Amino acid sequence: MAVPKRKMSRSNTRHRRSQWKATTPNLVPVFLDGRAHQVPQHLVRAYQRGLLTPEE
């Protein structure tokens, strides 16, 4: 594991952390019971198998 040789200032730490941006999940259409639902791409199989149910 990388260990810093010197302490990073509070200002530098906050500037570094502020560069992180959240992205919206890619929604894809899934047909359940004859209706199309927009669900996140990584959860498509869970919806198809019935592990999750779309809320409306």
Instruction: State residue 16's pLDDT score.
Output: 82
C-alpha Rg value of the chain to the nearest Å: 20
Q: Hey, which residues does 35 pair with through a beta bridge?
A: 32
Query: What sign does the dihedral 27-19-5-9 (CA atoms) show?
Result: negative
What amino acid occupies position 50?
Answer: G
The model's pLDDT over 21-53, given as tens digits with 9 standing for 90+, comes to 888 889 999 998 889 999 999 999 999 998 988
pTM of the model: 0.57
Report CA 22 to chain centroid distance, whole Å: 8
**Residue 18: band (very low, low, confident or very high) from pLDDT cuts 50, 70, 90:** confident
Torsion angle defined by CA atoms of residues 27, 33, 35 and 37, in that order, rounded to the nearest 10 degrees: -20
Instruction: State residue 5's pLDDT score.
Output: 92
